[in-house]
Amino acid sequence: MKKMGRKLIVGTAMAATAVALSACGGIKDPNVCVYGPPPDEPETISIPASGEYDPSGILEPETIGEFDPSTEINEDVYGPPEYFE
Amino acid sequence: MTKETLYNLKREQLKLLSEYREQLYKNPVLKYLFLELTLRCNEHCLHCGSNCGDVPSVEMNLEQYKNILDQVAEDFDLTSFLLCITGGEPLLRKDFFDIMGYAASLGYRWGMTSNGTLITKDVAAKLKACKMKTISISIDGMEESHDRFRRTPGGYRKAMEGINNLIEEGGFKNIQVTTVINHSNMQELDRLYEIFCEMDIDSWRVIGIEPMGRALDHPELLLTEEDQNYLFDFIREKRMEDMPVTYGCSHFLGLKYEKEVREAYFTCNAGIYAASIMSNGDITACLDIERRPELIQGNILTDNFKNVWENKFECFRQGLDKKSSQCSDCPAKAFCAGGAHHSYDYDKNEQRICFRDSFFFEI
């Protein structure tokens, strides 16, 4: 299997999680329905007809927190939340 | 950043998703159209959701499929959805390549599910010639488990050969293996992972056995809470290593595992993103949903699909939480909307799978 090739550029794994959460928009489903084939194209964020859906506000600095270089987090690792307090 | 901060992020996004879903109920978007070409199968899996082999396979003919494909092509932008070919085993149809060659000539994007046992080198070449984009092949355990579970001696070797024939042919956007994990083959996850890491597949989807179809007759195979928790931890760990292992689309998992074991948050696509045409022409939402007359929205042989998609499907365009008293006091119902349609018990009006009371569920 080939690696997914995530490139998360922020400093902490938690912030990386936030970016990953935000970038995906929460709408795309790469696996269709339970026993369907995988999609052939990368999913894009679906915007509702009203155009109101906008997760970008979630990435405000006061939400994510400051980068802490002392944690020495691998930028490419999507870490589980309980590692960070 | 704390765990609670992350959970608040997820809650915010789930709230946005629930608002978006309400909009989808009013303005659905066709993204996946399933064609069930047959209910015949050369295997007889213990967990088959369609009871293949135990029910008659009423099938449409080539001319009827061409008419259907023409009709849908006229009414929809073919670049906007994926045509998903399934069964039974679709390759059992002698006219499979006539149907799919015609679909390709019209410009359909398509993928399929298959047990892989019939994918010879020649078949792999024909699939590429018919412009198949993606495929999911079932491998349900190590060789002995797979063959026993699917009741097909030699099935594992033939399926693996089929996967390798596809890999060697090349030119497909996504070759995926799908594994249904049950209580008896849980311990094979690590070994399967090692095997799939050595193969040039694009992704591995792991699904817990679902209580539908023939699986309802085998409660001993259903996953315990501990099994589910182990499975989610396993998948999350692999994803942390950047490996393309994913849970299936089903079920709201709670804040601990939502967005951790698959790319997207849970949403049941039935009737808002996905529609299906059964082998007999009946139109419904998802082929894994219980086949009940009241859930059939029309028949493609007499009805125009676009009209049905736009004007029917009411029962799927509202959350199941509105129907089930089980959901009335649940703090997760706005995020979950009552769960997946395919695991819903329409007689008892309750979910067969709900993780709300599981020890790993957080909200």
Those residues with Cβ within 8 angstroms of residue A64's Cβ, 6 or more apart along the chain or in another chain = A14, A15, A18, B1
Burial string for A24-46 (b: 16+ CB within 10 Å, else e) reads bbbbbbbbbbbbbbbbeeeeeeb
Task: Choose between A14 and B265: higher pLDDT.
Answer: B265
- Is the pLDDT assigned to residue B267 strictly greater than 60? yes
- pLDDT at residue B295, rounded to an integer: 96
- B16:A39 CB<8 A: no
- pLDDT at residue A34, rounded to an integer: 54
Quote the tokens at residue B41.
């199968």
Task: Choose between B162 and A28: higher pLDDT.
Answer: B162
Assess A53–B contact: CB distance below 8 Å, yes or no: yes
* Angle subtended at Cα B159 by Cα B169 and Cα B206, rounded to the nearest 5 degrees: 100
Chain B 144-203, CB below 8 Å of chain A: which residues?
173-174, 176, 178, 196-197, 199-203
Q: What is the largest CA-CA distance in chain B?
A: 60
Nearest CA in chain B to A15: B1
Shortest Cα–Cα distance, B301 to chain A (Å): 23
Assess A21–B contact: CB distance below 8 Å, yes or no: yes
- Is the pLDDT assigned to residue B253 strictly greater than 90? yes
Q: What percent of chain B has pLDDT over 70?
A: 99
Q: Read off the pLDDT of each residue in B3-7 and give the average, rounded to a whole number.
A: 82
User: Has the ipTM of the complex gone over 0.85?
Assistant: no
Q: Read off the pLDDT of each residue in A2-20 and give the average, rounded to a whole number.
A: 48
Cβ-Cβ contacts under 8 Å, B173 against chain A = 40-41
Lowest mean pLDDT among B22-36, B73-87, B170-184, B213-227: B213-227
- pLDDT at residue B144, rounded to an integer: 95
Which residue from A1, A6, A46 is facing B201, i.e. has the nearest CB? Answer: A1
pLDDT in tens, A49-61: 333 333 333 333 3
Confidence of residue B179 (pLDDT cuts 50, 70, 90): very high
Cβ-Cβ contacts under 8 Å, A6 against chain B = 242
Task: Choose between B189 and B53: higher pLDDT.
Answer: B189
Assess B103–A contact: CB distance below 8 Å, yes or no: no
Q: Read off the pLDDT of each residue in B100-111 and give the average, rounded to a whole number.
A: 97
Give dist(CA B6, CA B20) in Å, integer.
21
CA-based nearest residue to B353, from B285, B254, B235, B236? B254
pTM of the model: 0.86
- pLDDT at residue B1, rounded to an integer: 59
Q: Contact at 8 Å (CB) between B293 and B319?
A: no
